[in-house]
Amino acid sequence: MSVTVGEIVTILKDIAPLQLKESWDNPGLLVGNPDEPVTKIMVTLDVMMDSVDYAVAHGVDLIVSHHPVIFNGLKSIRTDTYDGAMFQKLLSHHIAVFSAHTNLDSANGGVNDVLAHQLGLTELSGLVPVEAYPSYAMGRVGSWPVPERAGQVLQKIKELLHVPVLPYAGDLDTMVTKVAVLGGAGASFMDIVKASGAQLYVTGDVKYHDAQQAVKLGLVVADGGHFGTEIPVVADLQARLSHTSEAKGWDIPVITDPTSRNMLDYFINEPEREQK
C-alpha cells in the first residue's frame, strides 16, 4: 500500500493540532511534497546534518521533528551554509520534514504529559492554558507519589531524566507533594507555578535571575535541560506512529534518530588523546 506524506501529516495533526501552536511558532510540513510516498519515518528532537545523513543512508522519506527545521523567515538558501547544505540534501533525496513544536507541548499526550508520566506524577492538570483553547494547556501539575523532601525528589528526578547533573535553586528541605513540569524553556512561568500549589518545578533553560525568582517565591526549581525535558516525547511519538502504521496495515517502519544528542555538554577535563 502506497502511503503519502500528506496522509502521515493528517495523523500528526490529529496528535498535535496546529491550532494549539503559539503565535510565534512555525510547526507543520516545512520541507517536502505532501504527495510523495513514504516508506520509512524517523522521529527526532532536532533536524541536524547528522540526522539528514542518517536518513539518506537508511531510506527515510519523512522526518518528524519537535523543533522546527525552519523557524524564522528564510531570506536566502545558500548551499555553502550549514542550513542551506542541509536543505539541499533533504530536497535532493526527497525527504520531507514535519515539525510539531508548541502544538505538541500543549496537546493531550504530548511533551508535557509524557514528561509528567516519566516522573511518576499522578492526578495531572494543566499549568498554562492555551489562550484561544483554554481546555488545553502547556505544562502539567501533578501529585508526587509520596511526600518527600525536595532533595530526595531531585535525586529521583535526576535519575529518571538520565541527566549527568541537575542544576537547582531553592531549599532542599522543602516538603514536596505537588510538582509542576514544562518541557523545554518554561522559566518565565514561575508565578503561575507558585499559584498552582506546586512546591517544585521541573523545566529547562533556567537563567540566574529565574532561579533567584524561584527562591523569592519559596519554590524549588530544577533545570532538567531543554534536551532532557523534551527528549522523552521522541520515543513516545515513535511508538504512537508505529502503532498507527500497524493498525492501518501500512507496514511503514518508524524509528528514532540515533544521532540525537544534547547540544550542550559539561566540560570537566580535556579528554586524553591517543599519541600518534
Residue ranges per domain, the chain? 3-101+233-256, 108-224
Q: Which amino acid is at 109?
A: G
Q: Which amino acid is at 58?
A: H
Residue 271 three-state SS: coil
Q: Comparing C-alpha atoms, which of 178, 183, 222 is closest to residue 196?
A: 178
Residue 260 three-state SS: coil
Contact predicate 25/101, CB 8 Å: yes
Contact predicate 211/190, CB 8 Å: no
The per-residue pLDDT for 29 is: 98
CB contact set of 24 (below 8 Å; sequence gap of 6+): none
CB contact set of 156 (below 8 Å; sequence gap of 6+): none
Percentage, residues of the chain above pLDDT 90: 93
Output the furthest CA–CA distance in the chain (Å, rounded). 62
- More confidently predicted of 275 and 240: 240
Residue 201 has pLDDT above 90, yes or no: yes
The per-residue pLDDT for 270 is: 82
CATH class of the domain at 108-224: alpha beta
| pLDDT one-digit tens code per residue, 14-35 | 999 999 999 999 999 999 999 9
| pLDDT one-digit tens code per residue, 25-75 | 999 999 999 999 999 999 999 999 999 999 999 999 999 999 999 998 889
* Burial classification of residue 264, based on how many CB atoms lie within 10 Å of its CB (0-12 exposed, 13-18 middle, 19 or more buried): exposed
Count of H helices and E strands in the chain? 10, 13
Residue 274 has pLDDT above 90, yes or no: no
The per-residue pLDDT for 110 is: 98
Pick one of 3.40.50.300, 3.40.190.10, 3.40.50.2300, 3.40.1390.30 as the CATH number of 3-101+233-256: 3.40.1390.30
β-strands 200-203, 175-181 pairing: parallel
DSSP state of 67: S
Directed axis angle between helix 82-92 and helix 49-57, to 10°?
Answer: 20
Instruction: Quote the CA–CA distance of 149 and 135 in Å, as a whole number.
Output: 32
Instruction: Quote the CA–CA distance of 46 and 61 in Å, as a whole number.
Output: 16
C-alpha cell at 116: 509528567
- Whether this prediction's pTM lies above 0.75 is answered by yes
Instruction: Quote the CA–CA distance of 237 and 241 in Å, as a whole number.
Output: 6
Beta bridge partners of 215: none
Instruction: Quote the CA–CA distance of 170 and 30 in Å, as a whole number.
Output: 41
Give residue 275's pLDDT band: very low, low, confident or very high (50, 70, 90): low
The reply to whether 3-101+233-256 and 108-224 are identical in fold is yes
